[in-house]
Amino acid sequence: MCLSKLFRIHDHDFDPDDYDKPKVSLKNIDSFERITLHESGMRFVVEYEVLNKGEIAEVSLYNIGYDHEKNEKTRMLRERGEIEMSSFMETIKKCDIASWDHFHGAHPKGVLDGIMFRFEAVVNDGYQMSANGSQNFPKHYHEFHDVLTAAIRK
């Protein structure tokens, strides 16, 4: 690949040629290793992380900041909770998370502010899926977010 065509966006490699490649369609999510949901707004940046711990899904909420002295991002644990794995997998199915793969929610015209999100997951023994948007979310996004929030507040 020509290095001049490789860009960095949100700490991930992005190759413009990938837009020409057919996208794999994810039908179901049968398992997951890790899910992250990064949200940012005018005055906040947080990240939810869900890890598969066997019979439970461990949900952590981190504040994301920046250490100017070290010139690096910081990630500070704010809250942690858990949810029974069978219940969490039901949430994944109910919220149709599989349909979120490749979602890009462009910022709506006329909206001056809002929340940006980036969703990433390693599912089904290594398949990496992602979605992102700016004040434009996939179907059932808020329901999924509510489950994460409830898990850490138990």
What residue has token string 């039901």?
90
148 occurs within a structural domain: yes
127 occurs within a structural domain: yes
| pLDDT at residue 98, as a whole number | 97
DSSP-based three-state secondary structure for 88: helix
User: Closest Cα partner for 123 from 50, 60, 55, 59?
Assistant: 50
Instruction: Round to whole Å and give the CA distance between 66 and 75.
Output: 8
pLDDT one-digit tens code per residue, 108-117: 898 888 999 9
| pLDDT at residue 112, as a whole number | 82
Report the chain's terminal Cα–Cα distance, integer Å: 48
What residue type is 19 in one-letter code? Y
What integer best gives the mean pLDDT of the chain? Answer: 87
pLDDT one-digit tens code per residue, 14-23: 444 554 445 5
9 occurs within a structural domain: no
pLDDT one-digit tens code per residue, 37-59: 999 998 899 999 999 999 999 99
Residues in CB range of 149: below 8 A, 6 or more apart: none
Least confident of 23-27, 70-74, 76-80: 23-27
66 occurs within a structural domain: yes
Q: Which residue has the higher pLDDT, 124 or 20?
A: 124
User: What's the structural domain count of the chain?
Assistant: 1
85 and 56 in contact (C-beta within 8 Å)? yes
pLDDT of residue 107 exceeding 50, the answer is: yes
